[in-house]
A and B are shown apart, each in its own frame.
Chain A
Amino acid sequence: MKEVIRSQLFQLFKNKSKLYVLIGLIAFGIIELIFAMGETQEGATASQCVRELLPMIIMFLPFFTGIAAGDIAAKDFDDKTVYYEIMSGRTRRQSYFGRVIVALIYSVIGSVLIMVIPIAVAAVLYGWGNDLTVGQAVLRMSLLLFPVIRLICAAFTLSIIIKKSVGGLITGLICQYISLSIYADQGLLAEKDSLSLALTTMYRLLNIRSRYTYGLSDIKMRIIYDPTMHISEIAGIIGVSMLFAAVYILVGYVFFHKDDLN
């Protein structure tokens, strides 16, 4: 498996297209930050970005994970590299899980960079603020990685099944549609913040509980955010995401293992 992983990493650095997608999305996040915070009337802060900007960035994350995971999963079917790998003595398990590991590592690291860099830029430019603490933001962004892993596994599995990298892109497009329907409140889903889908899990993490009060003299609304999370909620997010991720990978492996690879 180590050779499979090494060869996949070599391909990653040789073929820069995925890297350009990653850089593009990071740049997009920073541009969104400057644009969105520039329109904020007063007191833009990094903690505000976590609440307002991160949901926008997250909507495009499935594209990145889809393209990255799909490419790593299925690109080698085009030039038959997979066949030669297996014919050269690698087991299907090594071939499959080697790619899974690389897809997960690359996509997770990329996702972290996409989420963190714009927020870090915001912290440097505007200060952190007090909508939520750094610890609370780190917790939420860390928990976001679990549904992201679920998405990565889904994209990987679909690409393996259809033996085309475009499987990842298809996953990204479906996720985009679902994300838009969640945020536009179209009523497609019964609950926008359930653990049923990775995207609803992400919505739950990004939609911080709040309450409001207002002054009599200025009737300005004061919103108070409550970013605390219960242990059961955290356990649910991690457990359900990992369960689905494991099922996707298992399905992909069973298919790959029995497939005649034609």
Chain B
Amino acid sequence: MIYKDILHIALVIVLAAVLFWAAGYSKKYRGAFWRLLYIAPGLLLMFIPAYAGFEKTMILAYIGTVLLFLGFFTDKTAVRRILCGSAAAVTLLSVPAALSSKAYRKPDFLVSFEEGFDEMKARYVLTEHKQINWDELYSKYHPQFVKIQNDHDEIANFAAWRRFCGEFHDAHVGYIPKDDSVVEMAMKKLFGNDYGLCILCLEDGSAAAVDVSDEVKAKGIHNGTVITAWDGMTPEEANLRSDAYGLLSYSDIDNEYFFRTELAAGVGGDTVEVTYIDDNGQEQKTMLSANGDRYYDRWEKAIMDKLDGGLNIGHLQWKKLTDETYCLRIKTMSYDSDTYTSTDYSKMKNELKEYILNAKKEGMKNIILDIRTNNGGDPYLCDAVAELVAAKGTYFHAYDAVWDFDNKCYAKDENGNYIRGDKLTVRGEDILDGGKVIVLVNHNSVSAADDMVMLMRRIPNATVMGFTESCGVCQAISSFSVDSGTICLSSCVVLDEDGSIFVDAGPDRQAKTKLDIRIPFDEEALTAIYDRGEDYLLDKALEQLANR
């Protein structure tokens, strides 16, 4: 129990004892003071719920306080003493009542869902674009939240919200629980057991083991071994059976397809039967044992770090790869707090320019912009970088949508489409004097990183490369709080050159952020990444520059 509730209960018990004694004492020594003493519980009742917050499971304590307060309205000693005794007893009962209730000091998950749903429905700017059926979503998820509220299951609440947000296929739609420790607890529980490997699909469609532990290697499975069945299912089927399925939402369907087996290797009980093709091309079976519910940790290491990691240097730091090629790592689209609230990136731009000019004296010709696992931020940083490296010319970035100040909403034309407002463009300075730019992306290059992809694809000397496309979301976000957490969503419209929604996919789930060159995730890539620990994409980018 929180200390404020314990304090409340303790104060009621102490007051009950004092007033019990005072009931008899005041008979002998009459005066206003003794009558006033009985107002104390009333003051407690007024201030304690404000100080501690009203809590339904503490209702017995509140009733006890009221009983104590009723002593003010009578002068009879016996009645006062009965009230004191009853108040103490009822208040003490609130301790087991609160401790045994799963709902004690927990948010109301159902109310949070209903409030969050209504707010999302009012604010989400891509309802028509993505053809969101709100009624269907409500029918599907409302019963789940009713059960979650009854069970008061924080993990189930988090999972339900994640799946609900996943229905939008919009990485800008998300839920963060108030207690952020729930995230890790939920992920660990739902991702399942660690059997010593992950499974990823190769370019030829086969499902291959990656990040294989030594124990599993001893059984004949190594990095690149093709897995044909997992626990009696294909890896794709096992992926769908994972408790974590739906928690990882992909805005673009191609990215979802790439990762169609990433959860499979967490599915199963204490042991799991795995069918694989050995090095001689023979199908073999083996049993793997669970090593605790740690698949989430392995998945993080295998996918987030090894596959998606990006160049391991600081944000906006340079690395000389060859005499002619330097890499600029951009981990987030922000520079400092001053620039984030303005559009002026001249300071950052001048710093980058100075570096490039100095590097050119030493032979720099080309730049690789590594925006893998870039979590987005300010699109004006993209403009500043693009202006430096782009060939001379003016390039379209995006359109702002017209805001209707009277009706407090985005204006729409007679066909129900958003109206193009201010045009954002970028003027290339060609600081590289015709040099090439390669932009490395992955599915975790989000939001303003998607912005950069769209911009760079319009620039003739830039090439976008990766295993997967960037995330595919670009409408700006806002957030709001409900009792159980915070919800963010796309709420600020950005438009493309033709007035259509910029970047974000419609019902076809094809975002506009395509790759210029898709690097196949094949055996060669797998071996380079998981056996030799190489940055395969970066090597391919260098190869591309050398071949030009």
Contact = CB atoms under 8 A, between A and B. Distances in A.
B50 A217 contact: no
Contacts of A259: 32
Interface stretch (A49-57, A71-79, A134-142, A189-197): A189-197
A200 B494 CA distance: 39
B406 interface: yes
A130 B492 CA distance: 21
Interface in A131-177: 161
B75 to A, nearest CB: 7
A218 B476 CA distance: 13
Given A130-B406, A194-B50, A197-B46, A215 B422 contact: yes
A259 B32 CA distance: 7
Task: Classify chain B's interface size.
Answer: 35 or more
Interface residues of A, number: 29
B49 A217 contact: no
Interface in B397-411: 398, 400, 403, 405-406, 408-409
B36 A224 contact: no
Interface stretch (A20-28, A89-97, A103-111, A250-258): A250-258
B73 interface: yes
A161 B36 contact: yes
Interface in A206-257: 211-219, 222, 224, 244, 247, 251, 254-255
Secondary structure call for the B interface: mixed
Contacts of B316: none
Contacts of B39: 161, 251
B395 interface: no
Contacts of A218: 400, 422
B483 to A, nearest CB: 10
A16 to B, nearest CB: 33
Contacts of A191: 50, 53-54
A258 B36 CA distance: 11
Interface string B8-37: 000000000000000000000000100110
Interface of B: 4, 32, 35-36, 39, 42, 46-47, 49-54, 72-73, 75, 119, 123, 341-343, 379, 398, 400, 403, 405-406, 408-409, 421-422, 424, 476, 478, 480, 491-492, 494
Given A196-B54, A211-B119, 6 more contacts: A191-B53, A196-B46, A213-B491, A213-B492, A217-B400, A218-B400
Cβ-closest 4 pairs across A and B = A190-B53, A217-B422, A196-B50, A217-B400
19 contacts: A161-B39, A189-B50, A194-B49, A200-B50, A211-B123, A213-B478, A213-B491, A215-B400, A217-B400, A217-B421, A219-B341, A222-B405, A247-B42, A251-B72, A254-B72, A255-B32, A258-B35, A258-B75, A260-B32
Interface of A: 130, 161, 188-191, 194, 196-197, 200, 211-219, 222, 224, 244, 247, 251, 254-255, 258-260
